[in-house]
Chain A
C-alpha cells in the first residue's frame, strides 16, 4: 500500500550506488521481497516506469527475488512454509513458532553499464 514511497526509496538507493561506481547507465535492479512485506511487485513496477524517466535508471529492469514465509518450530525444530492461513507446527502442533523468513525487503544489487574503462 505504500508502494510509491518505497519505489522512490529504491530509486534513490540505485542512483546513489550507480554514481558511486561511475555508471553511465543502470541496466538492472535486483530486489529481495518477502511474502510478509505486503508489497505488490506489480505496483512497484508501475511506479518505477514513471519515476525512472530521465534518470540513469531509465532503461533498467526490475528483478524480484521472492522469499516465502517460513516458520521455525521452537519445540521440534521443524521448518514449514505458510501459504494462506497461519498455522501452528504441522509436525508437533506446537504454537511456539517464530518467523525465520518472509520479512525481507532490500535492494540486493544493481547492474551497471560503463561506456569505457
Chain B
C-alpha cells in the first residue's frame, strides 16, 4: 500500500466559469450587451430596470432574465408590463444565480432580436459576487436606505463591479447617510468605480446612467 500526494490546483468554481465564458461568447456573437444587476433585497433592482426599459425601449430592444428564489412572477410581470420580454429562472431556494441558470434563461429569449440583456440577480450581497454569469458588466444597486456602511460589511461584492448605482436618492433627507463614508469604502475596494446616484421614483440622475448604458450597447455592436 502506498500513499501519494497528488497536486491538483484547481479552482473550485471552475465549472461555473466555463459556462459563464460560453454565455459571454453567445451574447457577444449576437452583438448583445449583457449586464448583471445585483443588490440587497428591496434595494430597487426591479424599479430601476422597469424605469430603464421605459426610457430606452424606443431606442433599443431589451430582454430581461429575472432570477428569483421562489416561483412568484411579481418581478417578471412588472418587466413584461414595461414592454420587454422577460423570462424567469427560479433558483429553488439557492441564494444566487449561476451561469447555468442564466443559460436556461437565454434559451427562452429571442437573442437574435435583442440589443441589451439585463439580469436581475437574487437579492443578496454575499453570494452573487462569487458567481460569474457571463455578463459583460456587473452592476450593484446600493440604496441609501441600506446605510453608508455596506462597503465595509460586504466588501466582496464591491470588488467585482464595473458600475455602481446609488439609488433611492430621494430618501436621503429621511435617512442617516454619509455619502463620504460610503464613497471612501468603495474607493478602497474598487478605485475609480463609475458611480451613478439615481432615484427610480423621481427619475433624478437617470440621464448619465442611460448614456453609459447606451455607449456600452453601441460598443457591443461595433
Residues of A within 8 A of B (CB): 1-2, 5-6, 9-10, 12-14, 17-18, 21, 23, 27, 31, 36-38, 85-88, 95-99, 105-117
Judge if B130 is at the interface, Cβ distance under 8 Å: yes
Contacts of A1 in B (CB 8 A): 95-96, 124, 126-127
Q: Say yes or no: A2 contacts B130, CB within 8 Å.
A: yes
Known interface pairs A31-B12, A36-B159, A111-B4; 11 further A-B residue pairs with C-beta atoms within 8 A, sorted by A's residue number: A1-B124, A5-B94, A9-B13, A18-B6, A23-B4, A36-B155, A36-B156, A38-B129, A95-B184, A95-B191, A98-B191
CA distance A38 to B125 in the complex (A): 11
Closest to B149 in A: A85
CA distance A95 to B190 in the complex (A): 10
Tell whether A107 pairs with B8 under 8 Å between CB atoms, given A9-B13, A38-B156: yes
Tell whether A13 pairs with B8 under 8 Å between CB atoms, given A5-B94, A27-B3: yes
Q: Say yes or no: A86 contacts B185, CB within 8 Å.
A: yes
Contact with A along B61-78 (1 / 0, CB 8 A): 000000000000000000
Contacts of A98 in B (CB 8 A): 191
Contact with A along B88-106 (1 / 0, CB 8 A): 0000001110100000000
Partner of A9, one of B5, B12, B94, B187: B12
28 interchain pairs, CB-CB under 8 A? A1-B124, A2-B130, A2-B131, A5-B94, A5-B98, A6-B13, A9-B13, A13-B8, A38-B126, A38-B130, A38-B156, A85-B152, A86-B151, A86-B155, A87-B188, A95-B184, A105-B11, A107-B9, A107-B10, A107-B12, A108-B9, A109-B5, A110-B6, A111-B3, A112-B3, A112-B4, A113-B2, A114-B4
A-B contact count (CB 8 A): 104
CB-based closest 7 A-B pairs: A107-B8, A1-B127, A109-B7, A9-B12, A106-B11, A1-B95, A2-B127
B192 shortest CB reach to chain A, Å: 10
Judge if B15 is at the interface, Cβ distance under 8 Å: yes
Q: Say yes or no: A117 contacts B191, CB within 8 Å.
A: no
Tell whether A38 pairs with B127 under 8 Å between CB atoms, given A10-B12, A86-B152: yes
